[in-house]
Amino acid sequence: MDLRTVLRALGRLLLALLCFAAAIAAALGLLRWRGLILLSHEADPAQWEVFGVDVSSYQGSVDWTALAGQGVDFAFIKATEGSILQDRQFAANWAGAAAAGVRAGAYHFLSYDSPGETQADNFIAMVPATEGALPPVVDIEFYGEYLETPPEKEHVRAILDPLLERLEEHYGVKPILYVTYRSYYRYIAGGGYGDYPIWCSSPTVFPLVPGWDFWQYSHSARLAGYDGAQDRIDLNIFRGSRSEFEQFGFA
């Protein structure tokens, strides 16, 4: 093969690579324009009408008026974990969000180490049934030893199902399921949970799970208005219009 032939082949390869790169850049640009790629520091993104945060005691004392002034429309607030633990900032956050006009929902961190019935008791004792609140949330993810050795599906569902049943009976609305990709495809997909709203953690890129309602797109943002040990805050959007959000969660 002579040099001219080699150069022509290299030229065709370079052109193909440039075309491929241009196609990728165009696709990413389209996703970015549509708000399906959101940067970790990007608060209140213009492509979405309804923006929110989620908080726990790690954010310390929260100035909810300050958060509302930065476009925060809703907040998921940690209430409980397992059958005993209760977030020490929950009551202050619940009242503060309401006073600032931020629509709130409470979340429960699912434990794989105690019955769903007693976990429901813990949550119900902590979270008042409040008109206009977002539905309760059950946070399904992995922790401690379960990061390496996740519990079996049957074990998780034996805890999750009675917990969801009790919460729905008490609050009159189906709870939201907070999921990671790993927990969704291990425990939720194909398991008869299709009627439950989904709040999915998917940093930067929109969730690749069907039918999601809330997207947690950042774990590492900074906003003004809190002073806890954790200086970062999670950011979320609602998948829908403001009018749809106002109707969301009503039976």
User: Per-residue pLDDT tens for 174-216?
Assistant: 999 999 999 999 999 999 999 999 999 999 999 999 999 999 9
The interaxial angle of helices 116-126 and 153-171, nearest 10 deg, is: 30
Query: How many angstroms separate the CA atoms of 198 and 209, rounded?
Result: 9
**Average per-residue pLDDT in the chain?**
92
pLDDT, one tens digit per residue, over 73-110 is 999 999 999 999 999 999 999 999 999 999 999 999 99
40-247 has which CATH code? 3.20.20.80
Instruction: Please check the confidence at residue 23 and state whether its pLDDT lies above 80.
Output: no
Instruction: Please check the confidence at residue 248 and state whether its pLDDT lies above 70.
Output: yes
> Active-site residue 54, yes or no?
yes
Q: Which of 81, 87, 139, 213 is catalytic?
A: 139
Query: How many angstroms separate the CA atoms of 154 and 188, rounded?
Result: 11
Q: Which of 54, 81, 213, 234 is catalytic?
A: 54
Q: Which of 44, 141, 165, 246 is catalytic?
A: 141
Q: How far is CA 76 from CA 18, 213, 249, in A?
A: 44, 13, 13
Instruction: Please check the confidence at residue 2 and state whether its pLDDT lies above 90.
Output: no
Radius of gyration of the chain (CA): 22
Query: How many angstroms separate the CA atoms of 213 and 192, rounded?
Result: 17
> Active-site residue 141, yes or no?
yes
> Active-site residue 2, yes or no?
no
Domain ranges of the chain: 1-33, 40-247
pLDDT at 34: 73
Q: What is the mean pLDDT of residues 149-174?
A: 98
